[in-house]
Structure formats: structure tokens, C-alpha cells
Amino acid sequence: MRAIRLPARANLACLVGLSAAIVLGGCATGMAKDECQMADWRTIGYEDGLRGFSADRIGAHRVACAKFQVAPDLTAYNEGRQRGLVEYCKPRNGYRAGLNGQPYANVCPPATEPAFVDGYRYGRQIHDARAELRGTQARLKGARDGLVQTDAAAQAVTAELIQPKVSTERRVFLAQELVRLGEERSELQARIHELTGRTAELAENVRQLERQSPYAL
């Protein structure tokens, strides 16, 4: 079976840009008073770079520390962040970020971004394939649970139907209910058959992607 194609760079840029804007933008970082007053902004910048945060991250620190009349050292922070980005912007880190479904904030410099993004694309594809597999497995479980419930309902209807004192009107209703449950059972069996095949297909696709990846951890 053929593996799913890697997403185009343009599509990836839209995806990661939007994700980063949602996840990384504009929120205070929750630094406490003592953290702000004793902050080593070069180290904080390095750690933010190492995590792939965008340059806007300093604004979040500024908001957090403004309550304590502390302003970040922008020069030290940026120096540290650039050193952190050198470590972050490596293909294997890109692969790991994509594999974990983390956003990419378009922070890597032109010299290292292509290789980083290639790693990210491989990891993200595996992440998405695994997510699709999990979703299909959940639907399959739901269909199987539904079949068990339908069979139990049919047994209860049948048990009542054979009772001697059931009224004619009730028997008609119960007979109709058995027909409905039979149709429901057929639909569930068809769904289970389809989802079982789809689950096997998706599982194989995940295995192929993991084998093909040059960045496997």
C-alpha cells in the first residue's frame, strides 16, 4: 500500500503559522515576582529559543513582570534566544516537534529552516496518521459496543414477545421493534466491516511512514 504524500510546503506554512499564532501569541507567562526580579534574561531567552518560541514571547514576559515593575533585558533575551534557536532548528528537533503535534512558529533562519521543516513535515505526517488511526479505532469500538447493545435489546424484546399474556397491540409493537433492531444490526455489522478494513489500512500506513522516516527517534 502506498504511503500518504507529504504535505506541500505552502500548506504546512499555513498550518504551522496559524497554530503558532493560537498557541504562542499574546499570553502572559505567569512569572512570579521573585522570578522577574532575579531573572537571567539571557538564560530565559535561550530556553525560549530552545522551545521554538517566536520573538513575541518576550512580550508575554513583559506583561507578566510589569505587575512587579520589572522590565526584561531585551538585548540579553534576544542573544540567549538566538543561541537557543541554533539548537532548536535542527532536523531531528523538527521531526520531534511534528511528531508531538507541536506548532512551528516560523522561527528558524533561512540557512537551517529547509532541513528543519523537512523533519517537521515527516513528524507531523506521522502524528496526523496516528491521530486518524486512533479516531477510526474509536469509531470501530463504538460500532462494536452498539452491536452488543442492539443484540441485548433484541434479546429483551424476544423474551417479552414470547410471554403468553402480552396483548396483541404490544405484540405488534414488539415485532416491529425486532425488525428495526435487525436493520440496525445489519447497519452496524456493515460499519464494523468497513471500519475494520480501514483500521488495518491506516495501521499499515503508519508503519510504512515510521519505517520510511529518516528521522526516526
pLDDT tens track for 145-162: 999 999 999 999 999 999
What would the pLDDT profile of 36-75 be if each residue is shown by its tens digit? Answer: 999 999 999 999 999 999 999 999 999 999 999 999 999 9
pLDDT at 28: 57
Amino acid making up residue 12: L
Is the same domain home to 70 and 80? yes
Is the same domain home to 108 and 133? no
pLDDT at 215: 82
Domain that holds residue 119: 9-125
1 in any annotated domain = no
Which pTM does this prediction carry?
0.74
Long-range contacts, 134-143 (Cβ 8 Å, 24+) = 136/195, 136/198, 136/199, 136/202, 137/199, 139/195, 140/192, 140/195, 140/196, 140/199, 143/188, 143/191, 143/192, 143/195
pLDDT at 217: 62
> End of a domain among 94, 125, 156?
125
Is the same domain home to 67 and 44? yes
